[in-house]
Amino acid sequence: MAHTFNVSSLVSREVELALHAKGNLINTVDTRRAKDFTQNTYTPGQTVTIEVEPQATITSGRVAVLQDKKPTTLTVTLGQYNGAFDMTSISKRYDTNDEADMRRFGDTIAMRLIREIELTGFQQAGKDVPNAVGTPGTDPGSLRTWATARSRITDQLGPMRDCFGAASPLAHVALSDSLKHATNPTAEISNQFLSGRMKKAAGINFYESQSTWRHTAGTADNTTPLVDGTPSNGATTLHIDGTTNGDIVNVGTHFTSGTINTSDATLAVDPESKASLPYLYKFNTLATTAASSGSGDVDITLRVPMYDSTDSRQNMSQVPQDGAAIVFDTEDAATAQANLVYDRDAFTLVSVPLASDSSGGLDENFSQVDGLSIRTAMHPRDSINDTEVLRVDAVWAWAMPRPEHACIVHGG
């Protein structure tokens, strides 16, 4: 019997429903910037620029300090991702007889697409977010650890609203297990015990995700790494020496992107009052290069510039001083799960529409769901191999305009 339904339309609709209903990270981040990229044609691999609004500052006294009205920018590279099924004439005749069969294809592709979208998002967070709490290698079973992560966001003037908490399956088990004897509120705690899933606690909306990033540290360890030369205000490079355990010349293995460290006596500060907070400022490694000075020293490129009290953008009590000790959260090739607590505005998901495929006889459908542009297509039959291909494509990139409004919760 001939099909009387539009394949690409049915699959596209099922992909939309699955993305909206089953996506976690993609439904809890800022996608408003997607509309800025709908009027032009973009290609995978192309870079786009995202504007980040300047943070306002307040000064005391009669003399005013003019605001920096120019927004900063982030550059991201668009990547194309797809899921595809091939069908022979026999499988199409007997396995896809009705609309439910085609929706099944849509749901299968959508679930894989959700995993890929969220995996790339958590990878971006792991490399950008400087805040971190917990103990690497140990699953965070204490609610206090998660609440501390939320307090780090509040300390950085994060919006006064509920945050989101993405926990790996093992972290989720540890947290649920630690609260099994809690008695308030009774119904909610009972449900957590029965389902093994946290819902909401301490102002955090929890969800379980197998896509949270797993960070592997480089071969460097905490044996006397030191700041070598005090960096200038506004610098994004930290020059260090004194590390061991490694082929220091191969900085790609000695230090890895996403390695978080602290510097002795460099404290985090309140963004408004500039008062020092009772914990060390965290630096996140964006990239590393062998220092031009030689001698095995390393230059660590940081995601966030360093500003001291001489600048209205001050984000630390002082820049790391010459000779100050450096301590890495993860070292010596150890691995740790990067669970995450975040405010919606910390992330942005940028998606651009795909152009129509120019091949003849193509059954295409275009849709947009929660800021993500999707192209679904049923490609014409290959008469030599007796196949047709059902394919779903999307182009997206992640960015973190406000990395300080997120906090990594180290796990096992």
Over the chain (412 residues), what is each successive 10-residue block's mean pLDDT?
A: 58 78 87 69 78 71 69 82 73 62 75 88 91 91 93 92 93 80 58 59 90 84 81 91 52 69 90 91 82 68 89 90 87 85 92 72 75 80 75 87 93 90
What letter would DSSP give residue 401?
Answer: S
Work out the number of other CB atoms within 10 angstroms of the CB of residue 351.
Answer: 25
The predicted structure's pLDDT at residue 181:
64
Q: Which two tokens stand for residue 26?
A: 């993609």
Q: What angle do CA 249, 255, 261 make, to 5 degrees?
A: 135
The predicted structure's pLDDT at residue 219:
72
Question: Which residue, 33, 35, 66, is CA-closest to 50?
Answer: 33
The predicted structure's pLDDT at residue 197:
57
Cis geometry, peptide bond prior to residue 305 (ω within 30 degrees of 0): no
Count Cβ neighbours within 10 Å for each residue of 245-277 and write b for 16 or more, e otherwise: ebebeebeebbbbbbbbbbeebbbbebeeeebb
pTM value?
0.84
How many Å apart are CA 337 and CA 331, to the nearest integer?
14
Contact 317/276 with Cβ under 8 angstroms? yes
The predicted structure's pLDDT at residue 4:
45
Query: For residue 121, is it left (φ>0), alpha (ψ between -120 and 50) or beta?
Result: alpha
Q: How far apart are the first and last CA of the chain?
A: 54
Contact 306/236 with Cβ under 8 angstroms? yes
The predicted structure's pLDDT at residue 1:
40
How many Å apart are CA 255 and CA 246, to the nearest integer?
10
